């Protein structure tokens, strides 16, 4: 079994925390107006009374009506991105070894 790479975990966490600032959300009108942030699963919900923008920074600091953060979904996102990074790294190592032969 392979050891856990803390470098990849740090990169995964960093990606999960920066992604909501880069990718805007669309308005979710199920019940209260809200914006959902996070990929592949949303872990931040910002409730708005007067929605005007899908960008995280704008919604977070301008007139939000509430904020919900789900830490368990954040952990799941970090694990998924960690596995993707590890898989991509393993594929690149295998391809580089094939090229050398």
pLDDT digits (tens, 9 = 90+) for 39-81: 889 999 989 888 778 888 888 888 778 889 999 999 999 999 9
Across 1-10, 30-39, 49-58, 75-84, the highest mean pLDDT is recorded for: 75-84
Work out the pLDDT band at 100, boundaries 50, 70, 90: low
| CA gap 88, 84 in Å, rounded | 6
| Strand 34-37 relative to strand 44-48, pairing | antiparallel
| Confidence (pTM) | 0.80
In the chain, where the domains are located: 6-100
| CA gap 98, 35 in Å, rounded | 46
Work out the pLDDT band at 82, boundaries 50, 70, 90: very high
pLDDT for 1 beyond 80: no
């Amino acid at each position: 079994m392979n050891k856990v790479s803390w470098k990849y975990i740090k990169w995964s966490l960093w990606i999960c925390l920066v992604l909501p600032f880069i990718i805007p959300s669309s308005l979710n009108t199920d019940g209260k107006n809200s914006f959902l942030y996070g990929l592949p699963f949303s872990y931040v919900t910002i409730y708005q009374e007067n929605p005007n923008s899908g960008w995280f920074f704008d919604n977070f600091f301008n007139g939000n009506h509430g904020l919900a953060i789900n830490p368990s979904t954040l952990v799941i996102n970090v694990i998924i991105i960690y596995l993707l990074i590890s898989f991509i790294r393993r594929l690149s190592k295998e391809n580089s070894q094939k090229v050398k032969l």
